[in-house]
Amino acid sequence: MEEPPDVRLSVAAVAHRLGVAPATLRTWDRRYGLGPSGHTAGAHRRYSTSDLVRLETMRRLIMGGVPPGEAARVASGPPSVSPGPAAPLPGFDGRLAGGGPVGQVLAMAGADAAVRGLGRAAMALDTESVSDMLREQVARHGVLHTWDHVLCPVLVAVGARWAATGEGVEVEHSLSECATVVLRAVGDGVLSPADRRPVLLACAPDEQHALPLHALGAALAERRIATRMLGAAMPAAALEAAVRRTGPAALFVWSSLPGTADERVLAGLPITRPATAVLIGGPGWAVERLPARVSVATDLTHAVALVEQALGA
């Protein structure tokens, strides 16, 4: 049943619907201005339907690995909540260069040729072309550049299109699968020296979005640093067992949503000798509640630097 356009939802109701903590909503409001519209001092915080659409966009983009600041920029744009045809997105006049209809392209005003080409291939579900383009970008410019300047802009545009039209989940899934395959291939054949302690990459319990882990693994592989991928939704007990068994130099744990992040998992990790550098990334973590031994990576480049530091590189 659809809610009336003037419905106002409490913080608790919005947090429950999105699967995030109320503290996360307050953080998004404080840092990015994604708070209740029309809120006045002294009044209860209530979110409108339009506010909810923006927050859903923010959540979806973050789950896809888009940096929170960029996700907030897209989510802050005018949302479309009408059941009818969505209005054209900013920077797009509503038609293809050849006169095609809305919905066949992504809104990427100012994007370079590589980003536009990847976007067109992604929208066509042309997985062969998507994979070829990503491989070419990685070979020419490296993983960090490809992630920040080619792949993430397209993921952002796909998320914006979904927010405006409710369409495009298949595009996001296809693009993410192609990117995962390409990024994993970068690490093929990279072996850790016999005297080097391993680097473990894992998602927090219940976290299903592992694409950022594959990007980190590929970026490290370019630096001849091999990793051991534990993948999505690692239970706490399994993560503890992996650390105890391997005594890694570094453990990186990703969480895109507060519902998947549990700081107690980090606190329960065994103490190794020499010590394991416990690193985390993603907006799901409540930084103020992290154990003292944990370091926070702000982006992919920073995560690479933290791992290199743990290895003494």
For 192-205, the pLDDT digits (tens) are: 776 688 999 999 99
| pLDDT value at residue 227 | 94
- Residue 72 to residue 56: CA distance in whole angstroms: 11
SS3 294: strand
Confidence tier at 43 by pLDDT (50, 70, 90) = low
Judge whether residue 292 has pLDDT over 70.
yes
Instruction: Encode 34-58: b = buried (16+ Cβ within 10 Å), e = exposed.
Output: bbbeeeeeeeebbbbbebbbbbbbb
Confidence tier at 110 by pLDDT (50, 70, 90) = confident
Q: Which residue has the tokens 């103020």?
A: 288
| pLDDT value at residue 184 | 94
Q: Which two tokens stand for residue 20?
A: 């995030």
Confidence tier at 159 by pLDDT (50, 70, 90) = confident
| pLDDT value at residue 235 | 94
Q: Which residues lie below 8 Å from residue 119, measured CB to CB, with a gap of 6+?
A: 105, 106, 108, 111, 154, 157
| Residue pair 76/32 in contact by the 8 Å Cβ criterion | yes
Instruction: Tell me how far CA of residue 1 lies from CA of 4, 21, 121, 303, in angstroms.
Output: 10, 25, 36, 44
- Residue 127 to residue 111: CA distance in whole angstroms: 21
CA atoms within a 13 Å half-sphere pointing along the CA-CB vector of 72: 14
Instruction: Write the secondary structure of 161-219 as one string of H (helix), E (strand) and C (coil).
Output: HHHHHCCCHHHHHHHHHHHHHHHHHHCCCCCCCCCCCCEEEEECCCCCCCHHHHHHHHH
**Which of 289, 170, 115, 20 is CA-nearest to residue 107?**
115
Confidence tier at 127 by pLDDT (50, 70, 90) = very high
Mean pLDDT, residues 262-267 taken together: 90
Judge whether residue 164 has pLDDT over 50.
yes
Q: Which residue has the higher pLDDT, 10 or 142?
A: 142
Q: Which residues lie below 8 Å from residue 118, measured CB to CB, with a gap of 6+?
A: 130, 133, 134, 150, 151, 154
Judge whether residue 275 has pLDDT over 70.
yes
Backbone phi and psi for residue 294, each to the nearest 5 degrees, phi listed first: -90, 135
Mean pLDDT of the chain: 82
Confidence tier at 313 by pLDDT (50, 70, 90) = low
Judge whether residue 219 has pLDDT over 90.
yes
Confidence tier at 16 by pLDDT (50, 70, 90) = confident
Percentage of the chain surpassing pLDDT 90? 45
- Residue 65 to residue 120: CA distance in whole angstroms: 20
Least confident of 3-7, 75-79, 138-142: 3-7
Q: Which residue has the higher pLDDT, 263 or 37?
A: 263
Judge whether residue 87 has pLDDT over 60.
no
Q: Which residue has the tokens 């992290």?
A: 290
Query: For residue 208, how many other CB atoms are within 10 A of its CB?
Result: 12
Burial class (CB in 10 A: 0-12, 13-18, 19+), 163: buried
Mean pLDDT, residues 259-279 taken together: 90
